Structure 1
Amino acid sequence: MSSELDNLKNIGVTARHSLSAEGKGEIVKLVKYLFEKQKTVFVTEYIYKILKKIIHKNSTTNSSYNIIENIKILTKKNLKNLDLFIFFGGDGTLLSAVHQFAPDIFSVPIFGINGGNLGFFSSVAKENGTSALDKIFEGKYTKDVRMVAKGELQSEDKSVVETIYSLNEITIHHAGIARLRNLEVELSGEYLTTYKADGLIISTPTGSTAYNLAAGGPIVAPQIKAFVITALAPAGFSQRPIVLPSHKILKISVDSTMRLSIDGQKYTEIKNTQSLVITEYAIPVTFLRLKTERYYKNLREKLGWG
């Protein structure tokens, strides 16, 4: 990434899969716009195939062919060269990209154009995408910094079996027959409680408006560094959601094999011989926002508040 954030030269682009004909047209428009701005453009393989098909079919100009010849395929290896990562779609589009390119993607500023259904991450409508980018390239933006959760699956000897990263939430839930499980939680070495529940949601403030909210957990402002633990169908009314400081180390143990769902994008298992250790990842993710954007206005509109 460039040392100066205002020098946004290398631009990455991704979009949700199964784009409509209209959505594909918007992607072509976006990429052409970036080339007109003399940007170096990196796209995912899915986007490259769309561009190649549409541009070759509909254009006979040399400039259009030059786009295909000069565009670059985005990979984990060249991701660090990006100055800005643009996603076109809803929240699922960004989360999919995060898990495709984590953890390196957290070092790249992100800008979202809402071409999907949910847009907590992207509040700029697709018809305003290029005009919004004009302002971004002029430096008329603010930085919205969000914490990222890091999870380590550890064996009994504390060796790390698998490392995961989460922007929204890590969910522990049953992998087979639905029944109550015992999930023991420690907080920086201190015993907290043993939940008797179908599972647990461990959410970041960003994810507090997602699965956590649907399960009855609280909304936590994104500027607050915290974890939220919300039990899924707890056996007792006393096991309420709890907000914990993010500098603490969460350790969760289970009494039988359960499934881990990370941001609804990636799945793995936790066995009763393993522990899940969750900490705040050292590198947060940075979103670029227009100066006119307001978090609470967006929240009010998305949740249908009066």
Structure 2
Amino acid sequence: MNIAVYGKKITSKEDFCDFDEIFRIIFDFGWTPVIEETLKKDLSKRNTVYEQFASFSSHRDFSSGIDCALSIGGDGTFIKTVSYVRDSNVPVIGINLGRLGFLANINRHQIIQSFQLLQEKKYTHQERTLICVETEKKLFGDENFALNEVTLHRKDTASMITVYTELNNEYLNAYWADGLIVSTPSGSTAYNLSCGGPIVVPSCEVHILTPIAAHNLNVRPMVVPDNLPIKLKISGRARNYLVSLDSSTKSIKNGEEIIVKKAPFTIRMIEFENSTFLETIRNKMLWGLDKRN
């Protein structure tokens, strides 16, 4: 089995030891790693054995020959892994070396058990929808998609902004706020959750509109079908504002329109019986720990 490996930056001896241990487990299973170029250089500086393995540096390297993609880090690392995988249909596994980890949901002590289940093909594929944006100037080039969310927010001002919003070409609302999040179900446990939005099961085919610090007590997050286009236009006192696709951010001018749609492809996440979405939610959010249960 050929496994593409992408991981967070190695900045310490402890980081290297974490990666080295995971690779030793990969070798024990008889799998062949294909290592992201920067990660391979970091590993090779500390152990030349990693120089012998093939590497990849872009999504084009996922065209053939890779059976699975392994993300080692946190949710941010997982999102970057998705930018390599894209529409290749290569399934993805996330090992959590970070903090909370809703996407990278396999903990250190679950690695061997999870790899054994992968070897025995005892897993399911969970399709995760993505979101994409269309702008007149093609701000994000061919990386105009996000796994978690699209966010519009202020840049050079402390004043509120107004986000005029249409759903399927029908006027919905003018959000007076610090910004607006349009989230996928995967992103419902990210920025959306921090701003009071609902947690949504990943299999739901919806988008979530969540204002950031809305200056109107009647405004609430809204869940809409993901097959309807959302048109957004920012207005305010400043000349420039920010639009973010997950961790990628660009500047847009006052009055520019953005179309938000469901991306034309999905990401296949491997789900084991020991790391389901509901189990992850219970563990990370500490649900069910009430003494009365």
**TM-score (normalizing by structure 2):** 0.88
For the residues of structure 2 that align with 1:286 and 1:42, how far apart are their CA atoms? 19
Structural RMSD (CA): 2.0
Give the structure 1 partner of residue 58 of structure 2.
75
**Residues 37, 292 of structure 1: alpha-carbon distance in 2 compared, 3 angstrom cutoff:** closer
- Within 2, Cα distance between the matches of 1:293 and 1:40? 24
CA deviation after TM superposition for structure 1 residue 19, in Å: 4.6
Between the aligned partners of 1:144 and 1:104, the Cα distance in structure 2 is 15
> Quick one: which of 222, 244, 251 aligns to 2:202?
222
Deviates more, 1:43-52 or 1:142-151: 43-52
Q: Which runs of 5+ in 2 are unaligned?
A: none
Superposed, 1:19-34 pairs within 5 Å as: 19-34=11-26
- The one-letter amino acid paired with 1:290 is F
- In the alignment, the residues of structure 2 paired with residue 15 and residue 161 of structure 1 have an alpha-carbon distance, to the nearest angstrom, of 27
- Deviation, structure 1 residue 251: 0.5
The letter of the residue matching 1:96 is K
2:106 paired residue among 116, 120, 124: 124
Other structure's SS at 2:135 match? strand
Alignment coverage as a number of residue pairs = 282
CA distance in 2, matches of 1:111, 1:40: 16
Aligned to 1:184, the other structure's residue is in SS state strand
2:244 pairs with 1:261: yes
Tell me how far 1:104 sits from its aligned partner: 4.1
Indicate how the Cα distance of structure 1 residues 38 and 74 shifts in structure 2: closer, same or farther if over 3 A, else same: farther
Shift of 1:71: 3.1
Letter in 1 for 2:131: A
**Partner SS, residue 260 of structure 1:** strand
1:39 matched to 2:31? The reply is yes
Stretches of structure 1 that go unaligned for 5 or more consecutive residues are 1-8, 57-64
User: Amino acid of the residue matched to residue 281 of structure 1?
Assistant: A
> 1:87-136, CA deviations, whole angstroms, 9 ceiling, x for partnerless residues?
1111111123334x26346x221001111112111222224323321210
Q: Secondary structure at the match of 1:282?
A: strand
Tell me the TM-score normalized by structure 1.
0.85
Q: Distance in 2 between matches of 1:11 and 1:27?
A: 14
Structure 2 residue identity aligned to 1:210: A
The offset of 1:300, in angstroms, is 1.6
Q: Which residue of 2 aligns with 1:6?
A: none
Q: How far is the alpha carbon of 1:85 from its aligned partner? A: 0.5
SS for the counterpart of 2:47 is helix
Aligned 1:234-273 pairs, distance under 5 A: 234-256=214-236, 257-263=240-246, 265-273=247-255
